[in-house]
């Protein structure tokens, strides 16, 4: 198979267009809180995948770190990146707050995610972006080992952790 045939197979088509639009997207919880872990992490991944499926957006790669989400998405040209990210963040917030009512106390209003996001187009360096997303979780866990200010319970805050140390 020639390179041209491989390129054509990778592209997707709509009625009158042939396209290959891939984006590396990163978004974070409000105040970059480290709340994405355990069951919430698994649920957030499933929710985001399902929401992408509803809009015919392909999830090429993705990982949920404690304080941010990395996704490599193939978005059809009929949608803008801002529309898809707004949809993902908005709907996932409502679903997460419905499943985890304890999150509402810590995030005012219906704002689980911070306002902005990072996006970059993915061209020929797709493999490098996939590898970066895959390794991001490992890098974060290594950095967390050296973080001495890491709070055991992110919902109570640092003050409750410091009170326990003072009592001991």
pLDDT for 54: 94
**Spatial distance between the Cα atoms of 83 and 159, rounded to a whole number of angstroms:** 39
pLDDT for 42: 87
- ∠ CA(50), CA(14), CA(3), 5° rounding? 95
Q: Can 132 be counted among the known catalytic residues?
A: yes
pLDDT for 72: 92
**Spatial distance between the Cα atoms of 69 and 113, rounded to a whole number of angstroms:** 10
| Tens of pLDDT, residues 38-57 | 787 888 889 999 999 999 99
| Tens of pLDDT, residues 18-31 | 778 899 999 888 76
What is the SS3 string spanning 33-98?
Answer: CCCCCHHHHHHHHHHHHHHHHHCCCEEEEEEECCCCEEEEEECCCCCCHHHHHHHHHHHHHHHHHH
The SS3 call for residue 24 is strand
| Mean pLDDT, residues 96-112 taken together | 68
63-76 b/e with 16+ CB inside 10 Å = b?
bbbbbbbbbbbbbe
**Spatial distance between the Cα atoms of 165 and 29, rounded to a whole number of angstroms:** 28
The percent of residues above 70 in pLDDT, for the chain, comes to: 65
Note if the pTM is more than 0.75.
no
pLDDT for 143: 62
**Spatial distance between the Cα atoms of 119 and 25, rounded to a whole number of angstroms:** 5
| Torsion on CA atoms 141, 147, 151, 154, rounded to nearest 10 | -50
Catalytic residue, candidates 37, 87, 100, 132? 132
| Tens of pLDDT, residues 70-87 | 999 999 988 999 999 999
Which one has a higher pLDDT value, 34 or 149?
34
pLDDT for 156: 55
pLDDT for 96: 83
Q: Is the pLDDT of residue 104 over 70?
A: no
pLDDT for 112: 77
């Amino acid at each position: 198979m020639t390179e041209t045939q491989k390129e054509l197979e990778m592209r997707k088509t709509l009625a009158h267009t042939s396209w290959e639009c891939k984006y590396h997207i990163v978004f974070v919880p409000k105040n970059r809180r480290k709340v994405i872990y355990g069951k919430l992490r698994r649920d957030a991944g499933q929710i985001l995948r399902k929401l992408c499926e509803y809009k015919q957006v392909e999830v090429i790669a993705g990982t949920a770190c404690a304080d941010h989400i990395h996704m490599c998405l193939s978005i059809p040209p009929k949608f803008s990146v801002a529309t898809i990210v707004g949809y993902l963040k908005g709907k996932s917030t409502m679903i997460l707050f419905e499943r985890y009512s304890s999150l509402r106390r810590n995030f005012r209003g219906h704002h689980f995610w911070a306002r902005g996001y990072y996006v970059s187009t993915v061209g020929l360096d797709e493999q490098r972006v996939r590898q970066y997303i895959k390794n991001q979780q490992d890098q974060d866990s290594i950095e967390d080992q050296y973080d001495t200010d890491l709070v055991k319970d992110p919902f109570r805050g640092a003050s409750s952790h410091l009170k326990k140390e003072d009592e001991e």
